[in-house]
Structure 1
């Protein structure tokens, strides 16, 4: 069986990490499936890693982000290489996949439900439109299916993100002279760093030795720096903006946080927290409750009010035994429910289902 994965881009994001994990899983665990990979926007942080694990490369000719010549190039590639399934990630890839599948009679899997936003973006809306033409739609969370209006689609299913726990077995903690909290997430409107900073002001009143490490990059970074200055937090907050492998910072933290105003589809960052046995404080929205069970594997907050977030964090700082229990349970959830082997096997079964062997 030949499967081609097409992505709009390969920056250092959660979706892109999962594409790499799937290509690696297919190479290592499913030798009967030959993988092909192509990406539209060149130069992403994970592009070369994806090419490394794919069995074959599809080099996409493209002059601008909306260059639909991709569909005609993809048609030629699909016919030349006997592709059985086109698996798309991203709106332009979805649209090109629909055209090519129709022209070539190839099966199509739409894999673009990777978020659970309350308001879909224009690209989300385009992806949703193309889903009606797909042989199957895959989301990485039940919340994502609901957000995209696919919950009652009989051709839609959930395959949870997978994480390779072996990748985290030898992680060495970031060295710090002070205990610290950590949040990993790019500085965008999708993450509420400002709310965490306001809550951290309250934390420092009771735990003045603590620091806060923020790992990420993006357009709201300057606003966060201004707020840090205004609140007098400069000596207690470290912003790490040139890091693509945050695991050491996660490993050394006492508590890890992710505040997402619109929720997450299924957060890879939270899975990393779990893999590294860290107690989690996160927003009770989107797909996060599908990972974290409040009070058992972490703490979920219903709002980003400083008092609620601060109290959740301080409750964990004050109780190391509770932190350890939450972290241990979260790690076991990652082992049982979100491992890469399970994810790869689920995709292989799906491919077999929609394109059975003769």
Structure 2
């Protein structure tokens, strides 16, 4: 692969597992889109698996390459690509991608910006195999970035080279969406109210709680549909829940869909149950950007997005019947629902813009390569970046 070189541009090599649907994948795509618009960067995307679920990526015209097949060749393949591309900086988006990068970074003297922290598990074992890999990664990384202060607290990287950069979201994603009536028809939603959970079907998401709440409420009344959407990473449980809802038409699990924003827009409440801890959840950001009240676990970075009693509710150790009562109260109080939803959107517009995120990443690149652009907004530091 031949690479064009422009001496006035910073060459950034991005390394991620794939571009399947997920929070960090969406975040990287937003960043690539922003950086492309700035005209100051030569970019190359490396993946270990060619799964690209975002067709808009191809429109960016950013070259990409898949390495690591077979897997044991990933170290040597990465070394060869860096020899050709000669990046000023390696920007990694995963624990294993950072580990794969270390020998090349050391041998070729390329700084690493480590963006592997995207979650915030409450009881992460720092002496587990993953924890030991993290210690190695953190030691040799030049910057360690997290999308939440909670993530820094969970994984405990060296604070002197750790910073928080919140997710940025392009509000244009939420314009000109399909009409709500047509969306409901597509998913066979016939009730006036809808509660949505947008989350992958995996051990880190509590679809069991979602099901118990939905089953409880739909036995009480027939005007609310519950729909959970997301890619399955646990087909056995996914199929088991699909069997359980066969005779429950008001509970739906269609799997991965391509029009999440339109479905959220057509819904009334967004919920996310992830007791193992989120970083900054893109699903919650989407709920909020579309003016929905949010109900989520009081764990990880959720409290950096959801302000209890202001734009939604943070729940902890609350039984499914208690959460069901919160949902019913919101459904039966449209003024409260609108007030919380409007506040949700305000928080996103004020604190989670693409420009804020993009400028923060640009400043990091500038610091690493030694000629930082003079932006008005500095990169938010850990101690002052949490929204209060």
Q: TM-score, normalised by structure 2?
A: 0.84
Cross-structure match for 1:184: 198
Q: In structure 1, what is the Cα distance between the partners aligned to 2:360 and 2:61?
A: 18
* Counterpart selection for 2:338 from 310, 315, 324: 324
Following superposition of structure 1 onto structure 2, how do residues 342-353 of structure 1 map, counting pairs within 5 Å? 342-353=356-367
Q: Which runs of 5+ in 2 are unaligned?
A: 1-9, 373-388
* Counterpart selection for 2:124 from 116, 119, 126: 119
Structure 1 position 37 matched with structure 2 position 50 = no
Larger displacement relative to structure 2 (6-15 or 291-300): 6-15
Following TM superposition, by how much is the alpha carbon of 1:182 offset from its aligned partner in structure 2, in angstroms? 1.0
Q: Which runs of 5+ in 1 are unaligned?
A: none
Following TM superposition, by how much is the alpha carbon of 1:123 offset from its aligned partner in structure 2, in angstroms? 4.8
Q: In structure 2, what is the Cα distance between the partners aligned to 1:56 and 1:317?
A: 47
Cross-structure match for 2:137: 130
* Counterpart selection for 1:158 from 164, 167, 184: 164
Following TM superposition, by how much is the alpha carbon of 1:340 offset from its aligned partner in structure 2, in angstroms? 1.3
Following superposition of structure 1 onto structure 2, how do residues 41-120 of structure 1 map, counting pairs within 5 Å? 41-46=49-54, 49-50=56-57, 52-53=59-60, 55-57=62-64, 59-65=65-71, 67=72, 69-117=73-121, 118-119=123-124
CA shift in 2, pair 1:225/1:77, >3 Å: closer
Following superposition of structure 1 onto structure 2, how do residues 272-283 of structure 1 map, counting pairs within 5 Å? 272-283=286-297
Q: In structure 1, what is the Cα distance between the partners aligned to 2:86 and 2:226?
A: 52
1:113-158 deviation per Cα after TM superposition (whole angstroms, max 9, x unaligned) = 01112336855652443111000000111111111112x5210101
Following TM superposition, by how much is the alpha carbon of 1:163 offset from its aligned partner in structure 2, in angstroms? 0.9
Query: Are the aligned partners of 2:67 and 2:78 in contact in 1 as well (CA < 8 Å)?
Result: no
1:309-342 deviation per Cα after TM superposition (whole angstroms, max 9, x unaligned) = 1122112112111110111111011111111121
1:187-237 deviation per Cα after TM superposition (whole angstroms, max 9, x unaligned) = 2221111112212233235533211111123222123224435xxx61211
Cross-structure match for 1:144: 151
* Counterpart selection for 1:4 from 2, 13, 20: 13
Q: In structure 2, what is the Cα distance between the partners aligned to 1:5 and 1:56?
A: 11
Query: Are the aligned partners of 2:48 and 2:69 in contact in 1 as well (CA < 8 Å)?
Result: no
* Counterpart selection for 1:217 from 218, 231, 249: 231
SS of alignment partner, residue 41 of structure 1: coil
SS of alignment partner, residue 211 of structure 1: strand
Larger displacement relative to structure 2 (286-295 or 11-20): 11-20
Cross-structure match for 1:340: 354
Cross-structure match for 1:266: 280
Larger displacement relative to structure 2 (344-353 or 242-251): 242-251
Q: In structure 2, what is the Cα distance between the partners aligned to 1:189 and 1:82?
A: 39
Cross-structure match for 1:26: 35
SS of alignment partner, residue 295 of structure 1: coil
Q: In structure 2, what is the Cα distance between the partners aligned to 1:44 and 1:10?
A: 5
Larger displacement relative to structure 2 (116-125 or 333-342): 116-125
Query: Are the aligned partners of 1:60 and 1:73 in contact in 2 as well (CA < 8 Å)?
Result: no
SS of alignment partner, residue 115 of structure 2: strand
Q: In structure 2, what is the Cα distance between the partners aligned to 1:88 and 1:141?
A: 17
CA RMSD of aligned residues (A): 2.1
Following TM superposition, by how much is the alpha carbon of 1:63 offset from its aligned partner in structure 2, in angstroms? 2.2
Following TM superposition, by how much is the alpha carbon of 1:6 offset from its aligned partner in structure 2, in angstroms? 0.6
Following TM superposition, by how much is the alpha carbon of 1:244 offset from its aligned partner in structure 2, in angstroms? 3.0
Query: Are the aligned partners of 2:124 and 2:155 in contact in 1 as well (CA < 8 Å)?
Result: no
Q: TM-score, normalised by structure 1?
A: 0.91
Q: In structure 1, what is the Cα distance between the partners aligned to 2:210 and 2:77?
A: 47
